[in-house]
């Protein structure tokens, strides 16, 4: 079993993939409006609900569950949810999409909190899909889903075997690759992000890998006015995504 927890994450799962939920565990004594709305949604979706003491929920998950935990079937190796795509689906989206591609590539972000925060920003900015490598990257764990506040259930999440090969396939389809690098000469605010683009962000600390960096058409940096030399990857991602959103229009 896998446990998805938190009001927003469970709400999104109920709306998008209720069939995956075996039962919804709700803390005894929680009767506020947000929980009541979840209970009504669960009833409408035919999901069984059990009331459990807080200590029982605390024992199931390590994060702050807000009184709700969805018990789901653990995915088998290679299985995917509705929003977990293969590379072929990503390339079809680029080929057939009505709007210019707007893709976020995370090259080795391993902290599930950072992944969740990046997914939340990606959803808010209108990103077409988020791409990560299958190895040396955080997955859609319960922690990532909780931090994403529902975005993990709606933003297409693409795990690829070879990031460099995927980037090459995107370039063949007219997608411009913009990599974030502190040493880049061009500022983010000088870059033209209005067309089909993929924004590439590197791992915490080490940044993009060499082959990923070499695949990028342009490297851009965030102007830093203070004494710190870098930002958390999820913060930097949010800034870059919303500069692209600004240029592309609301």
Q: Which residues are annotated as a binding site for S-adenosyl-L-methionine?
A: 202, 222, 231
> For 50-119, what is the HEC assignment?
EEECHHHHHHHCCCCCCCEEEEECCCCCCCCCCCEECHHHHHHHHHHCCCCCEEEEEECCCCHHHHHHHH
Q: Copy the structure tokens of residue 88.
A: 């072929």
Annotated binding-site ranges: 202, 222, 231
Q: Copy the structure tokens of residue 116.
A: 């969740």
CB crowding 112-121: b at 16 or more within 10 Å, else e: bbbbbbbbbb
């Amino acid at each position: 079993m896998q446990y998805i927890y938190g009001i927003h994450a469970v709400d999104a799962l109920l709306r998008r993939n209720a069939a995956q939920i075996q039962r919804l565990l709700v803390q005894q004594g929680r009767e506020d409006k947000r929980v009541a709305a979840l209970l009504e949604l669960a009833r409408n979706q035919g999901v069984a609900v059990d009331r459990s003491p807080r200590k029982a929920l605390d024992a199931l998950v390590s994060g702050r569950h807000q009184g709700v935990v969805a018990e789901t079937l653990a995915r088998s190796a290679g299985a995917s949810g509705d929003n977990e795509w293969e590379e072929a689906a990503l390339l079809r989206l680029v080929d057939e999409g009505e709007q210019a591609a707007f893709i976020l590539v995370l090259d080795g972000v391993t902290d599930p909190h950072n992944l969740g925060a990046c997914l939340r920003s990606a959803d808010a900015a209108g990103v077409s899909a988020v791409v990560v490598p299958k190895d040396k990257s955080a997955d859609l764990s319960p922690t990532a889903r909780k931090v994403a506040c529902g975005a993990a259930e709606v933003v297409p999440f693409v795990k690829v075997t070879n990031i460099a090969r995927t980037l090459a396939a995107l370039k063949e389809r007219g997608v411009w690759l913009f990599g974030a690098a502190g040493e880049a000469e061009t500022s983010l605010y000088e870059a033209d992000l209005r067309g089909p683009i993929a924004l590439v962000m590197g791992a915490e600390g080490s940044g993009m890998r060499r082959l990923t960096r070499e695949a990028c058409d342009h490297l851009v940096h965030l102007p830093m006015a203070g004494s710190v030399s870098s930002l958390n990857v999820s913060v930097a991602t949010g800034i870059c995504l919303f500069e692209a959103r600004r240029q592309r229009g609301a």
